[in-house]
């Protein structure tokens, strides 16, 4: 299928990725997710300072045809939001692994990373779809 699934990311079963830099986690949706969604036309993201919880919804992305919840890969506090997406969500389709990042989270506990997938496991998951 040709999706780029970076090896240094962690993954949720709901197709979010998490890039970990010490206790700061950048979160986005995977290339597989954007392909399934189609063109994203609307994004709803949390505010800076908001607490979010692993596996709970923290926002929404919508394409023309569907609403899709965003699930937090880890618990923590939102420290930065990619507000460029609010006016123009096109980078979620064009470059979901980089420019289309959603939020940065200050992670509460590294232990939660154990609940996430690494790239081989995630590749297996999407191959079954």
Of 3-11, 45-53, 57-65, 118-126, the segment contacting another protein by CB under 8 A is 57-65
Residue with tokens 């297996």: 124
SS3 52: strand
Binding status of residue 19 toward another protein by CB under 8 A: no
**How far apart are alpha carbons 30 and 4 in whole angstroms?**
8
- Name which of 1 and 114 has its Cβ closer to another protein: 1
DSSP string computed for 77-106: EEEEE-THHHH-TTHHHH-TTTTT--EEEE
Binding status of residue 82 toward another protein by CB under 8 A: no
Contact residue for another protein among 67, 83, 88, 109 (CB under 8 A): 67
DSSP 116: S
Cα–Cα distance list, 38 to 41, 43, 107 (Å): 9, 13, 30
Contact residue for another protein among 12, 54, 63, 97 (CB under 8 A): 63
Binding status of residue 5 toward another protein by CB under 8 A: no
Of 17-25, 62-70, 72-80, 111-119, the segment contacting another protein by CB under 8 A is 62-70
Kindly compute the dihedral angle of the four CA atoms of residues 65, 52, 77, 15, in this order, to the nearest 10 degrees.
-50
> Measured from the CB of residue 46, what is the shortest distance to another protein in angstroms?
12
List contacts with another protein (CB under 8 A). Answer: 38-39, 41-42, 44, 60, 62-65, 67, 86
């Amino acid at each position: 299928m040709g999706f780029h699934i970076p090896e240094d990311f962690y993954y949720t079963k709901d197709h979010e990725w998490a890039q970990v830099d010490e206790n700061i986690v950048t979160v986005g949706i995977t290339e597989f997710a954007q392909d399934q969604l189609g063109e994203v036309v609307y994004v709803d993201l949390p505010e800076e300072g908001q607490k979010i919880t692993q596996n709970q919804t923290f926002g929404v992305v919508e394409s023309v045809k569907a609403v899709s919840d965003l699930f937090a890969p880890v618990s923590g506090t939102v420290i930065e939001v990619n507000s460029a997406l609010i006016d123009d969500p096109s980078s979620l389709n064009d470059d979901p692994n980089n420019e289309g990042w959603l939020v940065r989270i200050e992670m509460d506990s590294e232990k939660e990373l154990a609940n996430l997938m690494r790239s081989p496991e995630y590749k297996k998951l999407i191959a079954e779809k």
